[in-house]
A and B are shown apart, each in its own frame.
Chain A
């Protein structure tokens, strides 16, 4: 079974508007972490935001926020005031297991975001 599901292969958004990228996950662990990474066409993976399973508040980092709905097992990324430089592939990822452990990330298949001028 897929552990991380990203159902939107491609998304378009107008510059300066907000956009939500969907991510659902599947785990039986009580302790886990959820990550979003951005991958521009140059190929590097850029860390955006992190949400721990025990965190009560939704994570925010500048224009990025994570809409964490634990009961629904969803961790959607919201990008506010989109910029042309936000055009990239976005990956949702999960780390299962002991809080703070250096375990592997399991990635979804990604969403290609295109910001239109």
Chain B
């Protein structure tokens, strides 16, 4: 089966510009996650969707970050305006309810954002 797809893989923008990332989860996976991974750290959850509803966005900087998952399939994460500290890898993951006890999360290749 196809894995989690993300695009673009790399993006360089100047501060105060806007940027958008796209994620297409594994087919049939109802839960979608966006994580931010700053260099040298572990991933940190930004937002979690269950189908097209938000489950947890408590760590999303809502003054500049937004995310949507229309139709409960693919998702877009936007940053506007970007700051230098937003430089990170943005990872998308998905999981399948009913997939045993693990609810293993499958990760995409990530988008590496550099803000200059």
State the A residues within 8 Å of B (CB): 4, 33, 35, 37, 42-47, 50, 52, 91, 93, 95, 99-110
Contact = CB atoms under 8 A, between A and B. Distances in A.
13 contacts: A42-B109, A44-B108, A44-B110, A47-B105, A50-B102, A91-B42, A95-B103, A101-B103, A102-B97, A103-B48, A103-B56, A109-B40, A110-B41
Contacts of B91: 45
Interface of B: 30-31, 33, 40-45, 48, 50, 55-56, 89, 91, 93, 95, 97, 100-110, 112
Contacts of A50: 101-102, 104
Contacts of A99: 101
B109 A107 contact: no
Given A47-B105, A52-B101, 16 more contacts: A4-B42, A44-B108, A45-B43, A45-B91, A45-B93, A47-B104, A50-B102, A91-B42, A99-B101, A104-B33, A104-B48, A105-B43, A107-B42, A108-B42, A109-B42, A110-B42
A106 B35 CA distance: 10
Contacts of B45: 104-106
